Chains A and B, each alone.
Chain A
Amino acid sequence: MDWVNAIVQGVLLGGLYALFAAGLSLIFGVMRLVNIAHGDLIVLAAYIALVVVHATGLHPLASAIIVVPLMAAIGYGLQRLLLNPTIGKDLLSPLLVTFGISVILQNGLLATFTADSRRLAAGALETASIQVLPGLSLGILPLFMFAVSVLLIFGLEWIFYRTSLGRAFRATSDDAEIAQLMMIDRRHIFGMAMALSAGVVAIAGIFLAIRTNFDPSSGPTRLLFGFEAVIIGGLGNLWGTLAGGIVLGVAQGIGAQISPGWQILAGHLVFFLVLALRPKGLFPRMD
């Protein structure tokens, strides 16, 4: 039963990884930008949630009403101020600017909150669980988070394929020059993509803060999990990304069963295995 439990927990964790990945995948899809600070933004959101909860006494999950818009605004600002000037020149500039943002975020958080690891208490919700099989019970909170992750991915798909903003995203990604002639201001559209990504990051950060301990240096690992979920699932396919997150979560769950030191390592190794055997990911987009 331990193994079944490890796998089920891994699936649920995979939902969170898919959330880490969704924002990364979104901005890559729209502007071919890989945001190295993505993980650090997740951790920033976790700290903002911490501050909001302490200041207002809101339930951690309810803090989203403040954290999400705030993160979206930060994302929009970062894009307009620091990233837009580098887009379209070459590969190096945007990548290195996000690397610089990552260094600043990590050390800014370190200076403000110290290196102590923190966690957000979610109260009675944390221990609540339902028994699905004898010996196998599922936490309400992990289930809820998984459901929210799936819903968010559904929502992102809807925005991308059914709204005017999504059309502008896709058009800009297809042909940025001609998209401008459709009266699309791409600086704004890129800002909106980053805002949307950061909004998802906000939810991911709150979930992270409730689920695990975090500290200012937790970001890069989250970036790597998100990135691996994207590649395992296949580029440009959000449902594939969800599957990629689940594969990663399950691999880590099984690894942890073998030995605690193998938890993260097993996830990375599965990523490289997929890269070796299925370089386009498990669910490549058909075009």
Chain B
Amino acid sequence: MHAGFSIERSTATSRVTAIATLVLLVGLVAAPWWADRANIRLLGEIYSFIALASLWNLLAGYTGLVSVGQQAYVGFGGYALFALAMFLGVHPLLAILLAGVLGALIAIPLAPLLFRLQGAYFAIGTWALAEVFRLGFAQLSVLGGGSGTSLTASVVTGIAANRDVREMLVYWTALALALAALAFVILLLRSRMGLALTALRDSEIASESLGIDIWRSKLFVYVAVAGLTSMTGAFIFLQKLRISPDAAFSVNDWTAYVIFIAVIGGIGTIEGPIVGTILFFLLRETLSDLGTTYLLILGAVAILVMLKAPKGLWGILASKTGLSLVPTRRRVAFQDQ
């Protein structure tokens, strides 16, 4: 006697989540009307880190491409925005999109090069690449060389003449970016390609024997992540209004923090980077006065989590409760019994 069953992805929790998410989203979209200027800015920053951490998590936690060089694309996106807006007069918000396209394009030839490095050496290779970007942009005197450059006032007012409107637009852009990054990660993981990558992430040998398809999938993920990371970078430096090689390609700001976020939140989960980002900003707002000590604490916490709870905060929560707000796994639901 066989029980009837169906394969489904959504759970009761996920339906509740969907409603809660919708309410939350409406609140966040309306933030310019209830939050002050400083908080709007802070939210923008939080969104950019959610995007960066989710994208890094997709690379490292799901695809097995552990990068410590994503600052290459953050900085590239920032510089691309400055160049497009200042020299070609492209509207800054459009320039964010174009920066993403350029970031993806430049990643296409670079990815096969980096893929020649096995496993952990890939990680250091990505860092070397980011250094090439940093030193290279420092040589470009039109973009201010080593000391960097600021966005001209005309570019800034080009977004919108009214300051309130401008800040609203920038804020919504950040929100849209974070949502786009999350949507991309979720959709990819639910796709056939995502399932194959997840199944293979820990087995280089299996991936090798599966050959070209996996290689292509990894290429696709790397390039797409590079594009979205460049867009995020473009946004970050649009908000900062100033760029320099050291800030743009900072391993601390765009990789160490991002890895910390993913580790404490939970690598290999969709929710982890969001939880991690919130924790990270809570820590930052309370401890950043400590300066160096603050960074020491971050490093120590990351190691501790890695050793004692490698699935991170969300991983612990999920395994204790079986909770999955954004299910990517299909589960078998039995209709009777």
Contacts and interface: CB of A to CB of B under 8 A. Distances in A.
B132 A97 contact: no
Contacts of A33: 120
A265 B124 contact: no
Contacts of B117: 231, 275
Main secondary structure of the interface of B (DSSP, over half): helix
A47 interface: no
Nearest to B291: A111
Contact of B259 (A89, A99, A261, A264): A99
Interface in B257-307: 259, 263, 267, 292-293, 295-296, 298-300, 302-303, 306-307
Contacts of A106: 295
Interface of B: 60-61, 64, 66, 68, 113, 116-117, 119-121, 123-125, 127-129, 131-132, 135-136, 138-139, 146, 202, 251-252, 256, 259, 263, 267, 292-293, 295-296, 298-300, 302-303, 306-307, 310
A110 B292 contact: yes
A100 interface: yes
Interface string A241-272: 00000000000000000000110110011011
B61 to A, nearest CB: 8
Contacts of A36: 68, 123-124
A163 to B, nearest CB: 27
A261 B138 contact: yes
6 contacts: A36-B123, A89-B310, A107-B295, A111-B292, A261-B138, A272-B129
A36 B120 CA distance: 9
B66 A265 contact: no
B139 A261 contact: yes
Interface in A76-118: 82, 85-86, 89-97, 99-104, 106-108, 110-111
B47 to A, nearest CB: 24
B307 A91 contact: no
A223 interface: yes
Given A106-B295, A221-B131, 6 more contacts: A82-B303, A95-B66, A96-B263, A99-B68, A107-B296, A224-B131
A192 to B, nearest CB: 20
A100 B113 contact: no
Given A103-B295, A107-B292, A269-B132, A92 B66 contact: yes
Contacts of A269: 132
A107 B128 contact: no
Given A111-B296, A231-B117, A268-B131, A91 B139 contact: no
A279 B263 CA distance: 32
Main secondary structure of the interface of A (DSSP, over half): helix
Nearest to A106: B295
Contacts of A224: 124, 127-128, 131
B66 A220 contact: no
A14 B269 CA distance: 43
A265 B259 contact: no
A72 B221 CA distance: 41
Given A93-B306, A265-B135, A228 B68 contact: no
A202 interface: no
B202 A95 contact: no
A97 B132 CA distance: 25
A279 B302 CA distance: 33
Contacts of A264: 131, 135
Contacts of A93: 306, 310
A220 B255 CA distance: 13
Contacts of A124: none
A140 to B, nearest CB: 32
